Amino acid sequence: MARNFNAAADKLGLDEGLREVLRRPDREVTVAIPVVMDNGKLEVFTGYRVQHNFSRGPCKGGIRYAPDVNLDEVRALSAWMTWKCAVVDVPFGGGKGGVICDPRKLSQGELERITRRYTSGILDILGPDRDVPAPDVNTNEQTMAWLMDTYSMHVRRTTTAVVTGKPIALGGSRGRREATGRGVMFVCREALKKLGMRPENTRVVVQGSGNVGGIGAELMHREGYKIVSISDMYGAIHNEKGLDIPAVMAHLKKNGKLAGFPGAKELTSAAALELPCEVLVPAATENQITSQNAERIQAKLIIEGANGPTTDAADKILEKKGVIVVPDILANAGGVTVSYFEWVQDRMGYFWTEEHVNTSLEQIMVKAFADVDAVANKYKCSMRIAAYILAIDRVSSVYKLRGVFA
């Protein structure tokens, strides 16, 4: 990310002081989370919340639960949120949170106690006008419901706008769950148009089968794309004639894994990235396309459903090969865009139809794609650097307008 930030800042001629402001997170909080486990023993977990920048509005970004969460990762992800919100031009800054834990080994009760204690640990910096969390890796609508309730009980009023990605019954937005996958589909469509390609003749490999990969694959399948491979945390399945994605998702739901899906070959998720295809959608986690495998990637177009799936070194290799990468801060911004709609609806107390949500999302994603594309043409650079230029320009101009509080 530092390479992209610097390249974009150079093109914008940004001075060193402003670069330092934008590089550095505004605030980082680490909390100890003591929890009584189901076996009666007390365990202490660690949680983080990093607020990168609030120049354009309250900090916004997900909370992830994973054994390998660390402050460096959360810090990087919080900055990505600042740039992502600026690319789609929603009035938020960036934040991110994480708790070191393995959700697969925790009961619902333990997860609830971790979530509530983590929330109360970071409560002072949360709020609809301060910092608004959302789901991320291994967190979901239920996590957000607990977070919302804990916050509300402390402030003694029901405050739905303190989180997004909540259950619809609790002030969540229609279309939020599908929003990131839907956004991936919209930007893929825009990129294909640019390349003169059509969905029917497009083979797609999707890495990940969760909220982004799974839903993205389903929506793209419906649009006529041929999804030839999809993976989960255990491995990938492949059928060169195209997979029946609704059947694949039903199989995944029933068995908890993709393996065993009839008529498909099984391979590792890393090997699947190198399969013959036109479009690759890495929608799992960071650092999947690296200097080790970038040379062997066959896709013409990469749509980054995950945050940070491509390393800097891989980026250089892909650029040389002429692969077009639609960067994460544009490609997966559908989620935070509908989070913005959710926050607006909560504050209005008036809820939109799913159709209104989806059309508004489409407008924003199409415009963001066109904005980034225009910057890429103007500066003769990759879409990734263009997205950074657009974002850094938007954030730094607001910073200059506000001036430095002293």
> Which range of residues in 27-35, 221-229, 316-324, 332-340 is near ligand GLU by CB under 6 A?
332-340
The residue from 33, 76, 88, 134 that contacts ligand GLU (CB under 6 A) is 134
Binding mask 197-236 for ligand GLU (x = CB under 6 A): ----------------------------------------
Which residues, 136 to 155, sit near ligand GLU by CB under 6 A?
Answer: 136
DSSP 8-state assignment for residue 173: P
The answer to whether 309 touches 281, Cβ cutoff 8 Å, is: no
Under 8 Å between Cβ of 61 and 93: no
Compose the 87-116 pattern: x for residues touching ligand GLU by CB under 6 A, - for all others: ------------------------------
Q: Is residue 175 near ligand GLU by the rule CB under 6 A? A: no
- Residue 62 near ligand GLU by CB under 6 A: yes
Residue 62, strand partner residues: 134
Question: Would you count residue 335 as binding ligand GLU (CB under 6 A)?
Answer: yes
Residue type, 220: M
What are the residue numbers of the active site?
A: 96
**Alpha-carbon gap, residue 162 to 172, rounded angstroms:** 11
Q: In angstroms, what is the minimal distance from the CB of 132 to ligand GLU?
A: 7
- The pair of structure tokens assigned to 204 is 């797609």
* Minimum distance of ligand GLU from residue 328's CB (angstroms): 8
Q: Which amino acid type is present at position 89?
A: D
Which residue has 């825009």 as its token pair? 190
| Measured CA angle at 191 (ends 343, 214), to 5 deg | 55
With CB under 6 A as the contact rule, the residue among 115, 164, 209, 310 that binds ligand GLU is 164
* Total residues binding ligand GLU (CB under 6 A): 12
Rounded Cα–Cα distance for residues 274 and 168 (Å): 39
How far apart CA 191 and CA 194 sit, in angstroms, is 5
- Applying CB under 6 A, the residues found at the interface with ligand GLU are 60-62, 84, 134, 136, 164, 307, 332, 335-336, 339
